[in-house]
Each structure stands twice: as structure tokens, then as C-alpha cells.
Amino acid sequence: MALLLFLAVALALLAGFPVAFTLAGVALIFAGIGTLFGSFDPGFLSAFPSRLYGIMGNQTLIAVPVFVFMGVMLERSKLADQLLREVARLMRSLPGGLAVAVMLVGALMAASTGIVGATVVTMGILSLPTMMRQGYDNRVATGTICAAGTLGQVIPPSIVLVLLGDVLSNAYQQAQLKMGIFSPETVSVGELFAGALLPGLMLVGLYIIYLVVLAWRHPERMPVVPASSDADAGIWRTLKLLAAPLLLILAVLGSILSGIATPTEAAAVGAVGAMLLAASQKKLNIETLGSVVRETARVSSMVFMILIAASLFSLVFRGFGGDELVQNLLTNLPGGKWTALLVVMLVMFLLGFVLDFIEITFVVVPIVGPILLAMDINPVWLGVMIAMNLQTSFLTPPFGFSLFYLRGVAPDSVATTDIYRGVLPFVLIQVLMLGILVFWPGLATWLPGLLYS
């Protein structure tokens, strides 16, 4: 019944039903069938109200709507538009300079907003027509924009890391209780932010290396544009534009990593900073504030509705013995924890073809997290690995969300197959980065150990 439940949810999602109502509705139907035939104890559902109360009182999750507000406000300030124009103007005379500029601005906006959709759409509207006019290959242009837009998944402050921090903290405590540790430690969002910082920056570096090598080997796909005469003035304008977002990043990330503020408090600082930036760009008014609040409410409602539905789904899944089934499967694999980790990562990668990162975070991680962490796997390292893996869910055809975002703003002359083929090298680079993290876990554990020891 546990396997049938998972299969029924997958089929309902593929049929196009809303995620939250699918998770909750299918779970309740199976709970009713199981109760009718005596294979499900309805007492499991009595824990649902306490779970709801736990979600409502969770201090960490308060950071989600505040970070969303910060990201939407920064997107409305049009700062990314100006930055992209100035950085592109500076670098367009270098081989692959325009693509590198898109990647750098994408990384900066990722560290400022943490919202993928807005970054991809902004980059697509601003840079794709320019790249096409300058003779860039459609696959290179679209792949670069999609990859740059998804950096907000893994570069803190990331909504994914906030959600993962809460889920992994619960999973880590469950794993320790099963191991007989009755004063369990926790893993914080700040530790995940610190752990993801170096791998995220390294991923940006790998992307840029790929673009530079591609420009060197195939210059016809990424033509060089003659340098402009106002380069010095452009450098000064760019530095002035960079000052504000860099200060905002320093205030948000610096306060979290230094222990001065919790993620929720730092998110509030970031939200106020984003409003000040919008005001400095003369973009802050009642109409803008209203649209930002409505968008924040829409995104936050979606996240929390899925979280509530996933809580109900996990209760029913456990009621059918699904957690024991998964535990027996993973613990009896040859090769121990490394084979178990490989299987989980592969399953998450494949689920990314059809599911969003929120569903995977709320449905899959609570099931496999306690099992993996009980195998003496570092929780911060595991969280960064999962975040990096979930980032691929935005890029993998056919249902990668970044691909749909870009398809919506790309001209008709750009084929959908160009977008699909363009992102494949970047997906392979992400897989390479996962491999580097496996063989060099210190990339994810060194900075949290230094800051939180």
C-alpha cells in the first residue's frame, strides 16, 4: 500500500493536478481504503493537528515569507537590469564576455534574492535578445541564462536551504533518538548557509570555466564584440551599482554567519534593505509595495500549503509501514552508507525531472533523511549535497521550471529543443560538482566547523 500510495501521487501529479491537494487528497483516500480493509490505523491521523501547530509555531519557517518579500522587492527595484547592462558593456570585448557577465550577475542576484523564477525571467528579457543580436548560438545563450538563474537554489540566502534546514534538523534529531542519544544535537539554517557558500561559488567558477573554454574552442558560437570607448566610466558606474547589493549581502549573510542574527532576523534586515534599494531607484510606492506583498503571499501560501499536505502524506505513508520499507531497503544494500547515499541521490535526481524542489524537500527528505543520518553521515554535508542535487530539478528536461520560465519570454525563433540542449552541459557540471563534494566533503564542512565550533 505504501508503494501504491507513492505511485498514485506520482500519476496524479503527472496528470496535472495541484501538488498540495494531490498529496493530501490521495493520502486521505488511501487512509480511508486502508482503514476499511484493516491495513491502516486511523490513530496516525490524530497526530496531524499537532503537526499543524508545530508548523505554525516554527520560528525558522518565518524566514521563508520574509526572504521571498526581499527577493521580490529587489526584482521590482530593477537593480538587476542596470547591473546586467553595465557588466555586459564592460566584458563584451572578452571571449565569451557577455555569457560570463550573465553568469556573474546571476550569482550576485542569487546571493541577494534566492528566488529562481524572477532571475531567469529578468535575465531572459534583458540578455537573450542582446546575445542573439551579437551572434551567440541559441543553445549557449539559453543554457547560460537558465543556469545563471538557478544559482539562487544553492547560493545562500536560499529558500531551499531554509526549508532543508528545518526538515534536516527534525530528521537529525530522529536519527539520534533511534541511536539512543537522548540529548540530540540540531543542524541550523546558518550552518547550511555556511556549508553551501564555498560549493556554490565553486559551481559558479566551473560554469565560467566552461564558458571561457567554449568561447576559446568555438569562437563562432560566442563572437567577440568591439570594446566601447567609455570603459573607464563604465567601471565607475558598475562599482557604484555593485556597492548597494554587496552591502545587502554582507548585512544578511554576515549577520547570520557571525551569529549576530538568526536567519529570520537577518531576513527582516534584508527586506528593509531591499525596500531602501527600491526607494533609491525611485521604484518604491504604494502600488509596488502592494504587488510585492501579493506576490509574497502567493508564493508563501504555495510553500506552506505543500508543507501541510506533505505532513499528512508522510503520516499516511508511515501508517502503511513505508518508512520501515525504505529503511530496510537502504540499510540492506551492499556497500553500506555510500550505496544508500548513491541510490537516494539518484532517486532525487530522477524525481527532479517531474517534481519541484519543494515537493522533494517535504516528501522525500523526511523519509530518507533519518535513515541516512543514522548511518553517521554529516548533516551539513548531506544538506548541501541535497541542495545541489535539487538545483538540477530546475534544469532537467522536460519539466525543469527554469526551462518553462525562459520559454515564456524567449522569442519564437528560439526552439524549445535549443533550450533543452543548451542546459545539458550545465546539468553535467552540476553532477561533476556533486562528485567533487563526495570526494572533498571539507568544501561543505570546513566553514561551518570554523564558525560554529
pLDDT in tens, 160-184: 888 888 889 888 888 888 877 777 7
Burial degree of 298 (CB within 10 A; 0-12, 13-18, 19+): exposed
Which residues have CB under 8 Å from 356's CB, separation 6+? 19, 393, 401
Q: What percent of the chain has pLDDT over 70?
A: 95
pLDDT at 435: 93
Q: Write the DSSP string, 307-343.
A: HHHHHHHHHHHHHTTHHHHHHHHHHTSTTHHHHHHHH
Burial 88-116 (b: 16+ CB within 10 A, else e): bbbbbebbbbbbbbbbbbbbbbbbbbbbb
pLDDT at 444: 92
pLDDT at 175: 84
Name the band, by pLDDT with cuts 50, 70 and 90, for residue 19. Answer: confident
Please report, for the chain, the start and end positions of each structural domain, with discontinuous segments joined by +. 60-299+321-452
pLDDT at 274: 87
pLDDT above 70: residue 233? no
pLDDT in tens, 332-366: 888 788 899 999 998 888 887 777 777 788 888 88
Highest average pLDDT, of 1-5, 201-205, 363-367, comes from 201-205
Q: Structure pTM? A: 0.83
Name the band, by pLDDT with cuts 50, 70 and 90, for residue 226. Answer: low
pLDDT above 80: residue 123? no
pLDDT in tens, 54-89: 888 888 788 888 888 887 888 787 777 777 777 777
Mean pLDDT estimate for the chain: 84
Which residues have CB under 8 Å from 423's CB, separation 6+? 142, 143, 146, 147, 395, 396, 397, 400, 402, 403
Strands of 67-114, DSSP E: none
Q: What percent of the chain has pLDDT over 90?
A: 16
Task: Please state, as a whole number, how many other Cβ atoms lie within 10 Å of the Cβ of residue 63.
Answer: 27
Least confident of 29-43, 190-204, 233-247, 432-446: 233-247
Q: At what angle do helices 19-36 and 2-14 cross, to 10 degrees?
A: 150
